[in-house]
Each structure stands twice: as C-alpha cells, then as structure tokens.
C-alpha cells in the first residue's frame, strides 16, 4: 500500500474511503484525441405540462438517448437545463445528474415573471460540438395573473415589451417542393406545397395551377395545416403559377420554379413491405447517361442501410427495397450520377415495432380528495411484457393539452429542424391519415431541414468532451509570481462526495490539475491540498469554475408566436394562486423593506449572474493599524458590518439574513472575481488588507445579494495557507419531491387547488410490464388528464393518455 495514502488515512479518520488517483484530460481541448470516436446524443424533457401560472412549479424528467438508435445512453452524466425568457435571457439554470440516461428536476416559477412564451433548453457538453443541432428546445407559456408593483413592475418592462410585439410579421405565402428536388421538362412530377399565414403557421387553402396562357392545369385543396400536392408535366418555355384562396379570404398568386431542360425525377411510395422508387429520365439526360450507372443510397441517422447501382438503359427504372431492412424513423433516399453528384433527394418515414402502452384508473369517476389508483402496462404486439422507463403526469384539464411527446420529438422533431405544427398528430393511432400527412410534411419541410444533411455540411470540430461527472480543475502556481508548479500531489477531500471521499491527482507541466467523474448534490464543503513528493506543502492552489458557461442563445428568428386563448385557464389559475398566496402572506417580505431609489443603476457582471445596485450605500472600510488587533477578516466583518452573522458554528464565514435565510456573500479580490468565495479569505490577518468594501446588491429576480471587495497587499499572497483551499462548491441540482397531501380530517382540511394533481418522474415497469401508483385528487371538480411518456429498454419511445372525472 502507498505510504502516503496510509498517512492520509491516519490524519483523516473521519473520511474513511479513499478514491483512486485521477489524472484526466481537460473537459475542452483544441484538437481531437485519437481515441475519441464521434457519437451523437439526443435529449428530451417530459414536463408535467406546457402552460403554467407564475408561482407554480415546473417538473421535468430528462431522457438522454443515442442520437441514432434512441436507446438510453450513459455517454454523458451532466445535463444543462435552462429556462430562457422571451428577451432571450437565462433566468434559471440547473445541472442535472444523468444516470443510465435518466434524470429529473424542477423549476420554481417566480411571481415576478411576466406572461409570455418561454423556452426550456437542454444539452450536454458533448452536444456543443454540433452547435444547436442536437440541443433540445421546448416552448412553454407562463401566465402572470397578478398585478405587479414596485421593483417587480420595473424589472419586467423589458420582457413585457418583447411579449407585446405584434405577432403578425409575415405575409401569407405558398412554397413549392417538387418531389425529388426539381421539376424537369417533359416528366410528370408531383409538387408538394405548404401555405403559411402571417404568423408562419400552416393555413388551409384551395387553388388551381394555371399556365402562362391562362389554361387551368389542375385544381387542389390543402389539409388544415396548409400542405398538399398536385401534378404537373412541364413543357419547355412555359411558366406556371398557382392562384390560391386562403381561409381568411386573402388571394395569393405564386410562381412555380422553372423546370430543368434535362434532368431526372424520382417518385417514392411505400407499402407495408417495401419502399419503391420510380426514377424517370427525360430524353436529353437519357442521351447523356445511356449505358452509365446511377447509384441509390438509403441512409438513417447518417448511416447507410442500403446502397446499389442502377444501369441506365431506359427512361424509367423501378427500385424496390424491403422495409424490414430499415430502422424506425426518418430515412433519406439519395440518387447520384456516375460522378457522385446528387440529382434527387427524398425523405420517408419508416414505421417501427408496435409497443402497446396503457394507463388505466381503478374508477372512471371520483370525488374531490379521493384516492386514485393507476396501473401502467407495456407490451409488444404479441402481448409479451416490455420493460420501459417512464414518467407520468396527472393534470387538471383546464390546462391546454401538449402538442408534442417523446415519440414525436425523437422520431421526427429532432430529425427535421424548424417548427412543426401539432407533431403528435403524426403518431396518433386514432388519426387514420397520419402516415400520408407525415409524408406530406417530409416532402415540404423535410429535406431542407434534415438534421443529418445539415450535420454533414457543417463539418464539426471536436472542442467539447463528454462529461462523466463533475470535474474539479485548476492550477498550482508560485505564491509570489505566476510560475506554474508541476508534479504537485493534489488531494481532494469531501464528506458529501458520492462514493469515495478522497481523490488524488498530480499537477501537469503547466501546473494544471483535473479530477473528474465526481458526484455530489447541492452545495458541498471540500478541501484541496497541494504537496510535493516529500509531503511538504507548497504552492498556491487555485480552482476553476465547475460547470461550463451557458451556450450562446441563438434562438430561431421568425414571427412572434401568437398567444393562445387562455381566458378560462388564466381566470381559474388566478383564483387558485390567490388562495394559495393567502396562506403564505406572513412569509413574504413587504415592499417597504426594499429600498429602491431608482438613481444608482450600477451593475456588476459575475461569471454566472449580473448584480445591480438599487441605492443601497456601500460600506467602505480603510484598514489602519488600529484594525490589526482583530483576529482576522471574519472577526472584523462580524464586528464592523451591520447585519453580518456567523455562517455556522462549524464553518468559517459570514452571512446576511434575507427573507429569513442566510445569504452568503461573494468575493472580488483585487478587482478579480473569486468564483468559489474561498473560505480561507476569512482567516486573512488584517495587516494584509488595504481596504474592505461591502456592497448590498439585487439579483435579476429581486433577491438580495452581497459582495465583499477586498484590496489585499502583495504580501498577502505569500501566506502559508494558500496551499490549502477550503471552500463550498455547487454540485448537481437536488430535485424536490412532488408534494401530495395526506388528508387526516377532510372536513377541516385547507383548500387543495393543485393544477398538477400528481407527478411521477421515474417509473419502471416490472417483469410483467406493469407499474402501479396511487395519489389523492385535489378539490376542484374537473376532468383529469393523465399522460405517460417514456422509452423501452430497446429504444422505442412510447406515449399513453387517459382521463377520469372528479365530480
């Protein structure tokens, strides 16, 4: 056994478990390591609903899957989940621990948030290599039904201005998509079209195809989402137009794209057994290709599942491929000439295995506050049980229904970027025309936004590594000067670490050290030490920030989404939230206790937040020899600064009481932010400090924050304790448990007006493919909608819904 390890165990008997030394590469690098293989991840968040009132809780389950197969994956353990405002600002962020591809979390939606469309964004560090191509984004609507006053009203003006922008920023228009890519003279072609209104949403139209001579070629009518098809056989030198009438009565004329003088067209159809591609070649192109070969390639997730060559000896060729050879999801068909140039491209959807997921309640009708027992069952087409990982929400039906699910996202929305209206309709087995409608969608907005085509064109560079857990990194440098110190033994200790309690590594040639794969939840007290091989302490150990800065917010441009008609939702939620607040009124802080004079708007931008001064006076202390008698900085602050209290009986540091809780101040030392607020600053002797400034600030959400600015002497950095860093670092977000009341005496129980009646973030079916759960209804009489989403152990996304009545 290593003698150094024995010494550590003897001196730290309270930390009995020792981890193996870890020496890892950085979590970001400028050049790919030879051992790294490209892989792809997708993530999906199932939220309890998509519409909320401020003051409520948003609950979510996170699924991380292989980007090609949709199977749960453990390639990353860190998932960053962000709540983004209509003004494109991150107003909250959680780091979720993913284990075996599953994680859970929640957001508390503050009362100060204005009404509007917000976005949930989720991604791993590895996904950042591909820009936003694999980043999950979901829109949610927040309704603020309470009047805002004082600082809250001032703080939301910026976002309200965004919300109030007129949504109609486009003109009605029609776009045309010839099947395969282009119209070709003298070849009969199918042309798909999509009509959109002033909001960018699909709009039903009727119309006709007219030649330049005024001859009507054909008439057509679209679906309710504005999609449809017509046929045309272009004649050389003739132009064509569409004259259409929108549902709102507006008439629009659009010109078809010009046809190619020579070219190839491809018509694709599918049945239950095979996909058929009919390849047509006009005479000028046939003369050029006669006797040569074309190649056809069918790809899913960027991988080829069928490739074959076709000898050109006639003007029309039929190719058939068995569907059983293709995986479930979107498949791209590409036709290339003998020089590898693409001539036709088409997307199709291949159905997969049928998994039956059901959720049933023990009754169809219940009384308020009565217990509900649910059974969830998953089976395959033959009735055999299926193991599945699920999340379930029971929600009052006053909330508008979701239009998306894990199935539509993983199999469609993540493959075809851009807005897809009502994606669930394409996977609703009650919709008899869903497959034809899905084919229309792929013909219209499919190829131009196809994920794997965009990925091939972007040529990503490897800049972000997958994260197997929390990474602690930093460097060791000389106490005076900045020269790095290599080969120092770095030891990490923390009682709250999951698994081992002690980890060791060495600093590299540039003084950098890395400890990764760590796991803890919430704020964790840790200790880092730096020693040479002889066990002598030395150097100044510095710590980087733990989690990566957020991705740039580059949300898709387009017309503002039209706010839904939520009159009933808003009215009912306002009543419930008001009653809920009456019970909490004594816990709130009145506006009089917050002094805002509106004049001093100085801001301090820290690495993770921006703080604003609202007129609180700075407390400035110029240190003189008279202050040297204090035992250290902590003693000085507790004595001199009004409102300062001890952080705890066992931990160095101070805090300020705000809203009944202790708020720990943050440090800026010699004009540089200390990301982790080193606790050892509190032990600095006063003769090493020139000046102390304590600032009372306000966060974006209106909470109090405190900054301590230290102006230290140069000799302060020579202190013997800089080789030891004792601090508190943030870990994974500790998700809350969904609260369900237990009624002892229903006659005396207070009002229960939950909108989300029950939330189960992590369910797993047993060997019989079943899962059971139980909960109590709330008080309102209403219809309750149950929605279960998840994924099987074979990577098949599944969804089930049910309803019952509370009367």
Tell me the C-alpha distance between 559 and 572, whole Å: 29
Whether residue 412 has pLDDT greater than 70? yes
Whether residue 386 has pLDDT greater than 90? yes
Chain mean position to CA 711: 40
Both tokens of residue 561?
Answer: 């989404």
Q: Give mean pLDDT, residues 669-687.
A: 75
Residues 262 and 234 sit within 8 Å (Cβ to Cβ): no
Residue 113 DSSP SS3:
coil
468: nearest Cα among 511, 518, 428: 518
Q: Picking from 126-130, 198-202, 257-261, 262-266, which range would have the lowest pLDDT averaged per residue?
A: 198-202
Identify the bridge partners of residue 311 per DSSP, sorted by sequence position: 293
What's the confidence (pLDDT) of residue 461?
80
What's the confidence (pLDDT) of residue 669?
87
Report for 100-109, 469-478, 521-530: range of highest mean pLDDT? 100-109
Tell me the C-alpha distance between 687 and 684, whole Å: 8
Tell me the C-alpha distance between 627 and 633, whole Å: 10
Q: What is the mean pLDDT of the chain?
A: 83
Tell me the C-alpha distance between 87 and 89, whole Å: 6
Torsion region of 395: left, alpha or beta (phi above 0 gives left; psi -120 to 50 gives alpha):
beta
Report for 472-486, 505-519, 709-723, 734-748: range of highest mean pLDDT? 505-519
Tell me the C-alpha distance between 667 and 674, whole Å: 6
pLDDT in tens, 581-637: 443 333 332 222 222 233 444 788 887 788 888 788 999 999 999 999 898 899 999
Residues 76 and 169 sit within 8 Å (Cβ to Cβ): no
pLDDT in tens, 157-194: 334 333 433 344 578 999 999 999 899 999 999 999 99
pLDDT in tens, 360-375: 999 999 999 999 999 9
Within 8 A by CB and 6+ apart from 330, the residues are: 300, 347, 348, 349, 350, 411, 412, 415, 416, 442, 446, 450
Q: What are phi and psi of 92, to 5 degrees?
A: -160, 150
186: nearest Cα among 287, 245, 126, 259: 259
Token look-up 């300062």 returns 644
Token look-up 């109090």 returns 704
pLDDT in tens, 133-152: 899 999 999 998 754 444 34
Within 8 A by CB and 6+ apart from 532, the residues are: 487, 488, 489, 538
What's the confidence (pLDDT) of residue 595?
28
Whether residue 719 has pLDDT greater than 90? no
Q: What are phi and psi of 618, to 5 degrees?
A: -70, 140
Q: Picking from 412-416, 699-703, 755-759, which range would have the lowest pLDDT averaged per residue?
A: 699-703
Q: Which residues of 634-651 are buried (b: 16+ CB within 10 A; e: fewer)?
A: bebbeeebeebeebeeee
Q: What are phi and psi of 80, to 5 degrees?
A: -100, 120
Q: Which residues of 143-159 are buried (b: 16+ CB within 10 A; e: fewer)?
A: bbbbebeebbeebbeeb
Q: Give mean pLDDT, residues 234-255.
A: 94
Whether residue 17 has pLDDT greater than 70? no
Chain mean position to CA 653: 35
What's the confidence (pLDDT) of residue 151?
39
Tell me the C-alpha distance between 228 and 84, whole Å: 35
DSSP per residue over 641-680, as a string?
STTEEES-SSS--EEEEETTEEE--EEEETTEEETT--GG
Whether residue 269 has pLDDT greater than 50? yes
User: How many CB atoms are located within 10 Å of the residue 678 CB?
Assistant: 22
Whether residue 32 has pLDDT greater than 50? no
Whether residue 291 has pLDDT greater than 50? yes
Tell me the C-alpha distance between 320 and 310, whole Å: 12
DSSP state of 710: E
What's the confidence (pLDDT) of residue 677?
58
What's the confidence (pLDDT) of residue 403?
84
Tell me the C-alpha distance between 540 and 723, whole Å: 5
Confidence of residue 13 (pLDDT cuts 50, 70, 90): very low
416: nearest Cα among 444, 456, 435: 444
Whether residue 557 has pLDDT greater than 70? no
What's the confidence (pLDDT) of residue 447?
62
pLDDT in tens, 523-532: 888 999 999 9
Q: What distances in angstroms separate CA 592 from CA 535, 549, 660, one per listed residue? A: 57, 36, 16
Identify the bridge partners of residue 536 per DSSP, sorted by sequence position: none
Both tokens of residue 658?
Answer: 């705000």
Residues 319 and 298 sit within 8 Å (Cβ to Cβ): no
Report for 92-106, 164-178, 404-418: range of highest mean pLDDT? 92-106
What's the confidence (pLDDT) of residue 694?
95
Confidence of residue 676 (pLDDT cuts 50, 70, 90): low
What's the confidence (pLDDT) of residue 587?
32
pLDDT in tens, 392-404: 999 999 888 888 9
Q: Give mean pLDDT, residues 61-83.
A: 95
Helix spans in 336-448 (H): 406-408, 434-441
- Tell me how many degrees the CA angle 218-223-229 measures, rounded to the nearest 5: 35
Tell me the C-alpha distance between 762 and 4, whole Å: 43
Whether residue 112 has pLDDT greater than 80? yes
Q: Give mean pLDDT, residues 485-508.
A: 93
Confidence of residue 19 (pLDDT cuts 50, 70, 90): very low
Whether residue 18 has pLDDT greater than 90? no
What's the confidence (pLDDT) of residue 651?
67
Tell me the C-alpha distance between 285 and 293, whole Å: 13
Question: Hey, which bits of 289-436 come out as E strands?
Answer: 293-300, 303-311, 316-322, 329-336, 342-350, 355-361, 365-366, 371-380, 388-396
Tell me the C-alpha distance between 6 and 12, whole Å: 10
């Amino acid at each position: 056994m290593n003698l150094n390890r024995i010494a550590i165990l003897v001196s730290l008997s309270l930390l009995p478990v020792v981890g193996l030394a870890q020496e890892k590469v950085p979590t970001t690098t400028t050049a790919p390591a030879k051992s790294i293989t490209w892989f792809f991840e997708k993530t999906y968040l199932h939220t309890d609903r998509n519409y909320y009132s401020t003051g409520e809780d948003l609950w979510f389950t996170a699924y991380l899957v292989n980007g090609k197969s949709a199977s749960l994956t453990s390639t990353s353990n860190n998932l960053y989940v962000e709540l983004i405002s209509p003004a494109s600002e991150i107003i909250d962020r959680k780091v979720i621990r993913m284990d075996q591809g599953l994680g859970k979390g929640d957001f508390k939606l503050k009362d100060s948030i204005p009404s509007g469309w917000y976005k949930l964004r989720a991604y791993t560090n590895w996904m950042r290599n591909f820009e936003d191509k694999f980043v999950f984004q979901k829109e949610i609507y927040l309704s603020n039904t309470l009047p805002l006053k004082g600082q809250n009203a001032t703080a939301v003006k910026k976002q309200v201005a965004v919300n109030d922008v007129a949504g109609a920023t486009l003109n009605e228009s029609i776009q045309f998509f010839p099947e395969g890519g282009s119209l070709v003279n003298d070849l009969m072609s199918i042309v798909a079209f999509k009509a959109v209104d002033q909001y960018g949403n699909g709009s039903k139209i009727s119309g006709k195809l007219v030649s330049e001579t005024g001859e009507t070629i054909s008439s057509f009518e679209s679906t309710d989402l504005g999609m449809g098809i017509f046929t045309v056989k272009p004649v050389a030198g003739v132009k064509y137009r569409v004259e259409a009438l929108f549902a709102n009565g507006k008439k629009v004329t659009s010109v078809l794209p010009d046809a190619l003088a020579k070219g190839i067209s491809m018509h694709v159809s599918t049945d239950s057994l095979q996909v058929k591609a009919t390849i047509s070649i006009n005479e000028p192109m046939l003369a050029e290709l006669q006797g040569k070969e074309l190649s056809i390639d069918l790809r899913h997730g960027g991988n080829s599942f069928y490739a074959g060559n076709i000898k050109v000896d006639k003007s029309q060729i039929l190719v058939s491929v068995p569907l059983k050879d293709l995986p479930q999801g979107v498949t791209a068909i590409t036709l290339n000439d003998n020089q590898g140039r693409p001539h036709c491209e088409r997307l199709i959807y291949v159905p997969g295995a049928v998994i039956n997921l059901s959720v049933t309640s023990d009754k169809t009708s219940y009384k308020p506050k009565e217990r509900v027992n649910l059974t969830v069952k998953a089976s395959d087409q033959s009735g055999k049980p299926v193991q599945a990982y699920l999340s379930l929400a029971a929600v009052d039906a006053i909330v508008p229904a979701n239009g998306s699910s894990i199935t539509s996202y993983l199999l469609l929305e993540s493959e075809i970027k851009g807005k897809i209206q009502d994606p669930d309709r394409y996977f609703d087995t009650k919709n008899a025309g869903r497959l034809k409608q899905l084919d229309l969608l792929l013909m219209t907005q499919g190829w131009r936004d196809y994920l794997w085509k965009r990925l091939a064109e972007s040529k990503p560079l490897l800049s972000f590594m997958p994260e197997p857990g929390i990474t602690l990194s930093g460097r060791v440098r000389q106490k005076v000067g900045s020269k790095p110190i290599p080969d120092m033994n770095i030891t990490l200790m923390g009682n709250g670490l999951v698994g081992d309690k002690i980890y060791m590594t060495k600093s590299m040639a540039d003084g950098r050290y890395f400890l990764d794969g760590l796991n803890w939840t919430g704020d964790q007290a840790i200790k880092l030490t730096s020693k040479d091989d002889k066990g002598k302490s030395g150097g100044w150990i510095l710590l980087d920030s733990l989690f990566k800065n957020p991705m740039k917010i580059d949300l898709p441009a387009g017309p503002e989404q039209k706010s839904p008609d939520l009159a009933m939702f808003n009215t009912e939620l306002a009543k419930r939230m008001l009653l809920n607040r009456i019970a909490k009124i004594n816990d709130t802080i009145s506006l009089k206790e917050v002094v805002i004079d509106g004049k001093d708007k100085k801001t301090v931008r820290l690495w993770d937040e921006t703080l604003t001064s609202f007129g609180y006076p700075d407390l400035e202390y110029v240190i003189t020899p008279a202050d040297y008698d204090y035992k250290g900085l902590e003693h000085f602050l507790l004595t001199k600064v009004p409102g300062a209290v001890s952080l705890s009986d066992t931990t160095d540091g101070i805090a300020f009481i705000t809203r009944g809780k202790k708020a720990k101040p943050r440090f800026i030392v010699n004009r540089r932010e200390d990301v982790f607020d080193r606790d050892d600053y509190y032990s600095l002797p006063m003769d090493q400090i020139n000046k102390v400034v304590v600032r009372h600030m306000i966060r974006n959400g209106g909470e109090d924050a405190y900054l301590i600015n230290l102006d230290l002497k140069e000799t302060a950095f020579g202190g013997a304790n800089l080789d030891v860093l004792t601090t508190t670092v943030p870990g994974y977000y500790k998700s809350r448990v969904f609260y369900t009341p237990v009624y002892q005496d229903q006659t005396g129980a207070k009002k229960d007006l939950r909108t989300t009646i029950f939330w189960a973030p992590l369910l797993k079916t047993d060997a019989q493919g079943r899962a059971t759960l139980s909960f109590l209804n709330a008080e309102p009489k209403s219809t309750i909608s149950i929605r279960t989403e998840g994924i099987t152990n074979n990577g098949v996304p599944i969804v089930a819904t049910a309803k019952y009545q509370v009367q």
